[in-house]
């Protein structure tokens, strides 16, 4: 599903973010990526959806070799990956419904398909009753749920989340994590970068720890392992 072979990434300004990583993530896995700030977590994750290209090595996601992937093919590749961010990345001028439908319009689904599927995912994240509201009228947790709904609306095989609970209080974080757990149970691979020790320790899954651009620990049902 996701495979990195001797991946290195050095930014144009000379900063080395990733220095030789080998990793394999199988279909249906739930993986936490942990590490201190600046350890290379974000770069590691960004390379999976080809926001960043590796300087050397190979990355294969969904059978696509990313370093060789032409720019024009990136949009098609992205349609099989959902991405969730700490800051939700919602369009403030669009309603809850429109924000989610947007991802389907982009791939030119029919209006009937869009309506059916958007309501489905909004039900999954528990926001079916707020479809007409604007993001600004909702709480942080609710906004993150819209963002999750958008990431899965096109039924991707992989969902990548970069600190999805970073801006949320503990209780809301658990609600969000339960949604991810549900998504994972439905067969979607989830890769999540996180700083949340509580969640990693109490909802155990595979943990990949990154330090100075290297994988220092990779355990099934691992622990967070850092002091918060």
Specify whether the backbone of 158 is left (phi greater than 0), alpha (psi in -120 to 50) or beta. beta
Which has the closest alpha carbon to 223: 209, 211, 212?
Answer: 209
* Of residues 39 and 66, the one with the C-beta less far from another protein: 66
DSSP state of 31: E
The answer to whether 124 and 179 have CB atoms below 8 angstroms apart is: yes
First to last CA, the chain: 31
Say how many residues touch another protein, by CB under 8 A: 25
Residues 185 to 224 in contact with another protein, rule: CB under 8 A:
none
Give the shortest CB-211-to-another protein separation in angstroms.
28
Cα atoms in the 13 Å half-sphere on the side-chain side of 117: 20
* Of residues 74 and 203, the one with the C-beta less far from another protein: 74
In order of 59, 91, 94, 221, the CA distances from 2 in angstroms are: 7, 30, 33, 19
Among 12, 37, 63, 108, binds another protein (CB under 8 A): 108
Give the shortest CB-87-to-another protein separation in angstroms.
10
The answer to whether 132 and 138 have CB atoms below 8 angstroms apart is: no
Write the binding mask 81 to 100 for another protein: x where contact by CB under 8 A, - elsewhere: --x-----xxx-x-------
Among 20, 29, 60, 102, binds another protein (CB under 8 A): 102
Among 11, 107, 155, 202, binds another protein (CB under 8 A): 107
Q: Which stretch binds another protein (CB under 8 A): 1-9, 72-80, 135-143, 201-209?
A: 72-80
- What residue ranges bind another protein (CB under 8 A)? 49-50, 71-72, 74-79, 83, 89-91, 93, 102-103, 105-108, 110-111, 150, 154
């Amino acid at each position: 599903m996701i495979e990195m072979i001797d991946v290195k990434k050095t930014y144009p300004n000379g900063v080395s973010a990733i220095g030789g990583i080998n990793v394999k993530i199988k279909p249906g896995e739930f993986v936490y990526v942990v590490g201190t700030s600046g350890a290379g977590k974000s770069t590691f994750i960004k390379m999976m959806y080809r926001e960043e290209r590796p300087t050397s090595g190979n990355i294969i996601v969904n059978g696509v070799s990313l370093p060789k992937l032409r720019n024009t093919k990136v949009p098609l590749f992205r349609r099989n990956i959902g991405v969730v961010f700490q800051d939700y990345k919602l369009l403030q001028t669009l309603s809850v419904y429109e924000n989610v439908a947007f991802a389907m319009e982009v791939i030119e689904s029919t209006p009937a398909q869009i309506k059916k599927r958007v309501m489905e995912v909004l039900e999954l994240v528990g926001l079916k009753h707020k479809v007409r509201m604007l993001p600004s009228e909702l709480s942080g947790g609710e906004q993150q749920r819209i963002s999750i709904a958008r990431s899965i609306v096109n039924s991707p095989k992989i969902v990548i989340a970069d600190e999805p609970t970073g801006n949320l209080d503990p209780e809301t974080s658990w609600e969000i994590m339960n949604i991810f757990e549900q998504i994972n149970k439905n067969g979607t691979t989830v890769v999540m970068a996180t700083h949340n020790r509580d969640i990693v320790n109490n909802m155990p899954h595979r943990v990949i720890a990154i330090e100075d651009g290297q994988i220092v620990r990779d355990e099934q049902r691992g622990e967070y392992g850092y002091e918060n």
